[in-house]
Homo-oligomer: A and B are copies of this chain.
């Protein structure tokens, strides 16, 4: 599988996901502010991928401003990191990656722009490589939960288009396939932005996984009638009690899975946990513009002037989650205690 996000010669490259599946266009970025805009309009999306792109965007800024006096240079890069942090509020990976980049700036003891620039690029590469390695490790943990013939339902896109590697939720399916298990997938189209229809079906079918597309409203009847054996979703932020914020619709899926006795798994690397957040109720939920729902391809699909509610995320409560698949194993209830233990009682690392 190709890497989603690459960096060479002072240019950051990633595919414009808003144009998939019709056009496969890789854009090159030389200004970190264009990366901010790309994150805001979801040209790059998925919590881990946003973190990786933001890390590289700081490295990009380091290339852009290399000619500044060192004192201004470090301040300018910190301000770039702040701008990047303001692009989207929910995914914790963004803040995690930017904190690592800021730490490189803070810890840098010299006054040589080029050396700081190199150190920042090395850190961005490290974040990307770790994410890639994580994907395989996490997928191996998750694949152990799947058996030949399983039918998995998923929402949004927690795959190779959402991360620097093979994904979180979908990595379990990719690794299961490598292990010779035939696992098929029902993909929710995931309104309003149709990441399931545009991205998940695209990457699964390109990688030889049988996938059936359904609308979000069909999740219930498909669980009842199509032999779904597991639901696996990604996560954008997981609180200290195990509550998991993810694409809006995930909460409803968790209720439907519970009703049908279907295991409901959240697949997310440790960097998605935010132990400073006691429960899902404290996770900030981004509300996006009404036009994402009322306008499609420039054409209105709802009358002018009506009210619209458009939260980008909702929260699957820990009590609906059968297990959280991480690179270090599957966490199960009681989550608060086990999450504390995994982090050795320390705060987010």
Task: Name A's B-contacting residues (CB within 8 A).
Answer: 21-22, 155, 186, 188-192, 194, 197-198, 201-202, 205, 210-222, 224, 226, 247-249, 251-253, 255-256, 258-259, 293-294, 296-297, 299-303, 305-311, 314-315
Contacts and interface: CB of A to CB of B under 8 A. Distances in A.
Contacts of A259: 255, 258-259
Contacts of A310: 214-215
B215 A191 contact: yes
Contacts of A155: 217
B309 A212 contact: yes
24 contacts: A21-B303, A22-B300, A188-B217, A189-B302, A194-B302, A201-B303, A201-B306, A202-B303, A210-B307, A212-B309, A213-B306, A215-B248, A216-B216, A217-B217, A217-B247, A217-B248, A217-B249, A218-B248, A218-B311, A219-B252, A220-B256, A221-B311, A222-B309, A296-B296
A202 B201 CA distance: 33
> Could you tell me the dominant secondary structure of chain A's interface residues?
mixed
Nearest to A320: B259
B308 A251 contact: no
A132 to B, nearest CB: 24
Contacts of A217: 155, 188, 190-191, 216-217, 219, 247-249, 252
Contacts of A294: 197, 213
Contacts of A258: 259
A322 B308 CA distance: 28
